[in-house]
Structure 1
Amino acid sequence: MNFKGLIQGALGKVSEISVEELSNDYSKYLFEGEAIQTGYKLLRDVIIFTDIRILFVDRQGATGKKTSFKSVYLTHIIDVVMETPGPGIDDSELVVTYLENVNRISQNEIFGKEKFEFGKKMDIAPLYSLLGTLALKNRTEINKQ
């Protein structure tokens, strides 16, 4: 799945990181045959969209040297919630719900959630729509079993 065009529309180019820079910094964390589509910087953290997963790079601690890497596989996303900012200092948020269990079997789900926070001025509706469409496709496939 090619996220680049849709995500650019959702987030703009302000926080986008080039695929070349992402490859230089994070290629050693990719799986064999995996390709980076696009990625974005959110404060100290980075979100990388590949052809098989969303990779969350969480810089921790005061220096940001300690780093956590978490994968959410695109085939396991089952729900997305969007929260738009209010009139105050709130940011926009997306919460992605996904299956943590390896076998995508209905009625035996183990859920995980990951929250993205975006700047107030970013239009996240296209990203919400993209991830929601993916979630609907995944739910349909899972419920056929």
Structure 2
Amino acid sequence: MGLFSGLFNNYSEVSVQELQEKYGAYLTPNETIQTGFKLIRDAFVFTDERLILIDHQGVTGSKTRVVSIHLDAIYEVTMETSGTGFDDCEVTIHYISSPYHKSNNISVASYKFEFGKKFNAKPIYTTLMSIALANNKRLNG
């Protein structure tokens, strides 16, 4: 199922040890991996500081694009559970992409994660929503 799950843009969970071995070079000093998920080649990793998106590009996958979304920039999270048929479960995060979070001209972006029908995304949603709520209080307080 892992191969087909990856082909249909669905992430599967990976052990912290495997993530540390493969993506530990992208961590800053004192940053620790909490959990992570991967497709066939691509992955996303939650650390205690940020969300790291790893996109292996090209036919061989030797070219890699790494994007960081700081957890303190996430302000909204939505989840859509899978229905009948071929529907997948989706979690979308909305975040501030400009470096200054308390300015008049902030820019925002969103990123959508798709998981397989049987994947329980509720723990990811509640964790991210807790972060978003804390960020909203901090930014608007």
User: So what's the TM-score if we normalise by structure 2?
Assistant: 0.83
Q: What SS does the aligned partner of 1:123 have?
A: coil
**Equivalent residue in structure 1 for 2:101, among 98, 101, 104:** 104
Matching residue's letter, 1:103: Y
Which segments of 5 or more consecutive residues in structure 2 lack a partner in the other structure?
A: 1-10
Deviations 1:50-96 (A, max 9, x none): 11001111122333222211111111100011111221212111110
Equivalent position of 2:120 in the other structure: 123
How many percent identity over aligned positions?
A: 44
**Equivalent residue in structure 2 for 1:91, among 82, 88, 93:** 88
Deviations 1:91-137 (A, max 9, x none): 11111001111222164321011111101111112211211121011
**Equivalent residue in structure 1 for 2:134, among 129, 132, 137:** 137
1:69 maps onto 2:66 in alignment: yes
Q: Is the 8 A contact 1:91 1:117 kept in 2?
A: yes
Equivalent position of 2:3 in the other structure: none
Q: 2:129 and 2:104 mapped to 1: Cα distance? A: 21
Q: CA RMSD in A?
A: 1.8
**Which of 110-119 and 24-33 deviates more?**
24-33
Query: Which segments of structure 1 move beyond 6 Å, counting only runs of 4 or more?
Result: none
Q: What SS does the aligned partner of 2:82 have?
A: coil
How many residues align? The count is 131
Which segments of 5 or more consecutive residues in structure 1 lack a partner in the other structure?
A: 1-13
Matching residue's letter, 2:89: S
Q: 1:43 and 1:97 mapped to 2: Cα distance? A: 25
Q: 2:109 and 2:116 mapped to 1: Cα distance? A: 24
Matching residue's letter, 1:16: E
Q: 1:95 and 1:62 mapped to 2: Cα distance? A: 28
1:79 maps onto 2:67 in alignment: no
Report the CA distance between 1:38 and its aligned residue: 1.7
Equivalent position of 2:13 in the other structure: 16
